[in-house]
Amino acid sequence: MSKICFDTKEYIVYQPYPGLHVVYHAKKVLFRGRSKFQRIEIIENEAYGVMLLLDGNLQHTEFDAHIFNRALVGPILRRGLKKVLVLGGGSGQTLKALLRSPSIEMVTVVEIDPLVVEACRHHIPGVNDAFEDPRAKLVIDDAFRFIKENKEHYDALILDLTEEWLGRSVGLEGLYRFVAARCGGRCSCYIGPVSPQTGGPGRRRRHLEAAKKYLKGLRVRRVFIPSFGSEQLFLYGGGL
């Protein structure tokens, strides 16, 4: 990242892709720390409310989380599914959105970074209550290792990983094979920004090439998220 003329104690500089910098004022720093996986920052901003950033990449804002959640979770809820597996989602936002549905009986969240979960439980409204819900099960593990070893069955899978993990091509076939075998062929996957500068077209192609070997009823949707400053890609399988 090139030199930015903002005090990093008071401002967070988010770079969605080369050439674009978005600066968020930290009215209040709620949490700032580093795990063995990433840098974690939770701030309060005048425009977007409580915000979560991992390694400087925006993950959640209080203001427009409903747009992201509707795109990711909406197809699952409209089908009235009961048992859902979430890969990633340590911020608790996907879990919160799922638990609002009376049809949900169990949500298993697989998150690699326990510090993300701890920080969000303490500093993002509603997250602690979501993880304390008896329908929620938290597993601290690598998502791709989990699906290799897990033998349970689910009604659907939600992929809610960070861009670093989404950029990997290794493990995608195993992911969609698991969806076909253990999740009824149904999935709702966040696959990252649309823009070529972030590798969007390549990521979309890799996910589709892997998914079409195992799943039917595939579709990709583009959704603009205001706080992200760009369109984001979501892939659905199994007719969702």
Which residues are identified as catalytic? 160
The number of beta carbons lying within 10 Å of the beta carbon of residue 19 is 8
Q: Say which DSSP state 210 is in.
A: H
Q: How far apart are CA 163 and CA 199, in angstroms?
A: 10
CA–CA distance, 48 with 240 (Å, rounded to integer): 30
Please spell the DSSP secondary structure of 97-129, one letter per residue.
HHHTSTT--EEEEEES-HHHHHHHHHHSTTHHH
* Strand, coil or helix: 196: helix
Residues 90 and 112: their CA atoms lie apart, in Å, by 8
